[in-house]
Amino acid sequence: MARSLRSARHLVLAVGAAVALAACGGGDDGATTDDPAVAGALAVTGTDGLKFEPTSLEAEAGEVTVSLTCGEAVAHNFVIEEIDDKVADCNAGGTDTGTVELEAGEYTFYCDLPGHRSAGMEGTLTVA
C-alpha cells in the first residue's frame, strides 16, 4: 500500500511538472507573456513603489531588446514615447521581453498605466 501511495505521488508530481512546462511554451504571437529575461537585453525593473530601476539606459542603434521585470505586487509596461511603442508589458511578479528598432538619439520611456508616469515612472534611453 505504501508503495502504491508513493507511486501515485510521483505520478502527480510528474503530471504537475509536465503541465507547468507546457504552460511556459508556445509560439511568438506578439501577445504579452511572462517570458524569462533574454541575455543581452537592457534589464529594467518596475518596482512596487512606482519607479523604474534604473532610470537611465544606453543601447546601440538598431535592434534594442528590453527585459522588464515587475515587482511582486504591481503590473507595469515599458513604452517609448517618441515612437509610441509599448515594448514590454508584465503582470505583477512577472517578466516580459520585447524588441524595437531604434535610431541614434535620446528617448523617453515610461509606464502608461494610470497614475504610474505621474508618480515618476519614466526614464531616458540613450541610443548611440
pLDDT along the chain (128 residues), means of 10: 45 39 38 49 96 97 96 98 96 97 97 97 97
C-alpha cell at 99: 524588441
CATH of domain 35-127: 2.60.40.420
| Rounded CA separation 75/93 (Å) | 8
- What pLDDT is attached to residue 72? 97
- The per-residue pLDDT for 41 is 87
CB 23 within 8 A of CB 92: no
**Residue 123 and residue 19: Cα distance in Å, rounded?**
38
What residue spans of 25-85 are helical by DSSP H?
none
Please tell me the predicted confidence (pLDDT) of residue 37: 53
> Is the Cβ–Cβ distance between 60 and 66 less than 8 Å?
no
Alpha helices in 64-117 (DSSP H): none
Domain boundaries along the sequence of the chain: 35-127
Torsion of CA 115, 32, 103, 79, to 10 degrees: 0
Is the backbone peptide bond immediately before 36 cis, with ω within 30 degrees of 0? no
Q: What is the pLDDT of residue 12?
A: 38
